[in-house]
Structure 1
Amino acid sequence: MIAAIPSPSTGSFGLGPLEIRGYGVMIALGVIVAVSWAQRRWVDKGGTADHISTIAIWAVPAGLLGSRLYHVVTDWKRFRGRWEDVPAVWQGGLGIPGGLAAGVIVGLLIARRQGISMPRVLDAIVPTLPIAQAIGRWGNWFNQELYGRPTDLPWGLSIDVGHRPAAHLTAETFHPTFLYEGLWNLTLAAVLVRVDRRGVLKPGRLIGLWVCGYGLGRLWVESLRIDHASLLAGVRVNIWVSLVAVVVGGAVAVAGRNYRDAS
């Protein structure tokens, strides 16, 4: 093996009497960065940081709950007979599509209660979401999970024998799908910011471009993964969800094209 991305020897570390999970740290860091940036973006659009703080207080827990519920529902067979593991989010198992949907819906409801423009605040928040996703994906690195097929590429991810699937016990390095998805999301965030600045889309329609872009990225990343997954018609459920995201998100973005401002 010439080169490889190393995996951490453990997914947690001690802090006094506490055991801190790397997975949870990365999720929390992603939330903090996204909320902080969303506050700055909303202030630039004429709002206040407190508006975003209030939205986050409700939307973040809703997103985490939605993520876990999505994972449990789409992979319920793994929990059959051990339903007590459902709340154990620190072990991994957050379905991003469910979290994003729940977080956005609750966030918009809170924005409406505050009397602020839902389309404008949505445009402020949307580019920050793929940043949270990119950072949060490093939690999979700590857990040595959700990697791709074996590879001998120099950026292959080294996985301990205890975390390898039975079909690939002799393989040493695998596609680092967490890194692929993270880089995709960083690029997507940059595209969203540029589109928002140029006024290419009508207010509130930036979410369509994000959903479409996320779906496209998830399609090719999901095709590399070898972890257990629920199937529908022989295809991973997340691939079907990604296809729907591409179509629906693309339709929302195209229908919201602001031809006058883009010309």
Structure 2
Amino acid sequence: MLYNITPLDRVAFEIGGYPIYWYGIIIAFGIVVAYILGTREGRRRGLPDDTFADLLIFAIPISIICARIYYVMFEWDYYSQNPIKIIAINEGGIAIHGALIGAVLTAIIFCRVKKISFWKVADIAAPSIIIAQAIGRWGNFMNQEAHGGAVTREFLEGLHLPDFIINQMYIHGQYYHPTFLYESLWNVAGFIFLILLRKTVVRQGEVFLSYAIWYSLGRFWIEGLRTDSLYLWSTDIRIAQLVSILTIIVAIVLMIYRRKKVKDLPLYNEA
């Protein structure tokens, strides 16, 4: 059967001849959703209303820079030969793990300066972060990137996907795993899990650490399906899978350590 397949346009509109891409719009929308949810929960938990607005002023640019540095580090063979391309972020090449590292480090410093608990802020932000990631993956969908290996149309139809997703996964004459969708759905499930978790007898810091574990479990599996992975230098080790394993180990160790060593560790709603 022949199908009339036209990919969705990456460009949403133009301003003065400059293209505005759906990728950027979707990422920005994810950030706005995260901000609204975080601010609402922060208000309920006693944080000043401007806490997350002030944090994002620093976290957004620093996260973008760190995401780019992270990507360039693991593609150094190319960028060492083309140094001018290091700053060509408009051509693509950022990594979510780099962005998360930058955001966490920024939040730690921000909280120390503001004299508020990092763990409290991180717990409040965790559901917002993962739902923003779920939304952001649809930017990859519009760009026809971050996909998995080749599959058949019959395979995709067997997943009961709508035609607009199946057609967008037709790239250069071949259908591919919609790994963007797998991760987006995993993150939506994680968002629900974290919202429910914070209503239980959970200690300070454990919502954020649970986020780290949940996201890393899904990312480890999904990364194994992708075709655009970054690799540890001169090895067959996918760096995202390595980081995911290390994150899970560190998060579990921190949970156990804080439960045993931190006196009077408050509950989520008490902190």
TM-score range for the pair, normalised by the shorter chain length: 0.7 to 0.9
The one-letter code of the counterpart of 1:159 is: Y
Sequence identity, in percent? Answer: 31
Is the 1:210–1:249 contact (alpha carbons within 8 Å) kept by the matching residues of 2?
no
Which residue number in structure 1 is paired with residue 251 of structure 2? 249
Cα RMSD for the two superposed structures: 2.7
The change in CA–CA distance for 1:5 and 1:44 in structure 2 (over 3 A counts) is: farther
Find the residue that maps to 2:188 and give its secondary structure.
Answer: helix
Which residue number in structure 2 is paired with residue 197 of structure 1? 199
Which residue number in structure 2 is paired with residue 98 of structure 1? 98
Please report how far the alpha carbon of residue 230 of structure 1 lies from its aligned counterpart in structure 2 after TM superposition.
2.3
Name the CA distance, whole Å, in 2 between partners of 1:216 and 1:117: 27
Which residue number in structure 1 is paired with residue 236 of structure 2? 234
Name the CA distance, whole Å, in 1 between partners of 2:118 and 2:34: 18
Name the CA distance, whole Å, in 2 between partners of 1:86 and 1:255: 40
The change in CA–CA distance for 1:226 and 1:151 in structure 2 (over 3 A counts) is: same
Which residue number in structure 2 is paired with residue 165 of structure 1? none
The change in CA–CA distance for 1:256 and 1:182 in structure 2 (over 3 A counts) is: farther
Name the CA distance, whole Å, in 2 between partners of 1:111 and 1:61: 17
- Aligned residue-pair number: 252
Name the CA distance, whole Å, in 1 between partners of 2:254 and 2:45: 22
Q: Superposition pairs for residues 14-53 of structure 1, below 5 Å?
A: 14-53=14-53
Within the candidate set 176, 201, 204, 1:174 is matched to 176
Q: Superposition pairs for residues 216-231 of structure 1, below 5 Å?
A: 216-227=217-228, 229-231=230-232
Is the 2:8–2:142 contact (alpha carbons within 8 Å) kept by the matching residues of 1?
yes
Find the residue that maps to 1:189 and give its secondary structure.
Answer: helix
Is the 2:229–2:238 contact (alpha carbons within 8 Å) kept by the matching residues of 1?
no
TM value normalised by structure 2: 0.83
The change in CA–CA distance for 1:5 and 1:103 in structure 2 (over 3 A counts) is: farther
Name the CA distance, whole Å, in 2 between partners of 1:111 and 1:5: 50
Which residue number in structure 2 is paired with residue 136 of structure 1? 136
The change in CA–CA distance for 1:210 and 1:6 in structure 2 (over 3 A counts) is: farther
Name the CA distance, whole Å, in 2 between partners of 1:192 and 1:6: 38
TM value normalised by structure 1: 0.85
Q: Superposition pairs for residues 64-75 of structure 1, below 5 Å?
A: 64-75=64-75
Find the residue that maps to 1:229 and give its secondary structure.
Answer: coil
Which residue number in structure 1 is paired with residue 120 of structure 2? 120
Q: Deviations over 1:178-201 (max 9, x none)?
A: 11111111111111121122132x
The change in CA–CA distance for 1:65 and 1:260 in structure 2 (over 3 A counts) is: closer
Is the 1:8–1:141 contact (alpha carbons within 8 Å) kept by the matching residues of 2?
no
Which residue number in structure 2 is paired with residue 212 of structure 1? 213
Within the candidate set 145, 153, 159, 2:170 is matched to 159
Bigger shift: residues 226-235 or 32-41: 226-235
Please report how far the alpha carbon of residue 130 of structure 1 lies from its aligned counterpart in structure 2 after TM superposition.
0.8
Please report how far the alpha carbon of residue 216 of structure 1 lies from its aligned counterpart in structure 2 after TM superposition.
0.6
The one-letter code of the counterpart of 2:231 is: S
Is the 2:10–2:23 contact (alpha carbons within 8 Å) kept by the matching residues of 1?
no
Is the 1:66–1:98 contact (alpha carbons within 8 Å) kept by the matching residues of 2?
yes
Find the residue that maps to 2:34 and give its secondary structure.
Answer: helix
Find the residue that maps to 1:215 and give its secondary structure.
Answer: helix
The one-letter code of the counterpart of 1:109 is: I
Which residue number in structure 1 is paired with residue 78 of structure 2? 78
Q: Deviations over 1:66-113 (max 9, x none)?
A: 111111112222323322222233333221111111111112221222
The one-letter code of the counterpart of 1:173 is: Y
Name the CA distance, whole Å, in 2 between partners of 1:225 and 1:64: 22
Please report how far the alpha carbon of residue 131 of structure 1 lies from its aligned counterpart in structure 2 after TM superposition.
1.1
Q: Deviations over 1:198-218 (max 9, x none)?
A: 132x21232221111111111
The one-letter code of the counterpart of 2:118 is: M
The change in CA–CA distance for 1:148 and 1:11 in structure 2 (over 3 A counts) is: farther
Bigger shift: residues 14-23 or 228-237: 228-237
Name the CA distance, whole Å, in 2 between partners of 1:175 and 1:253: 35
Name the CA distance, whole Å, in 1 between partners of 2:4 and 2:128: 30
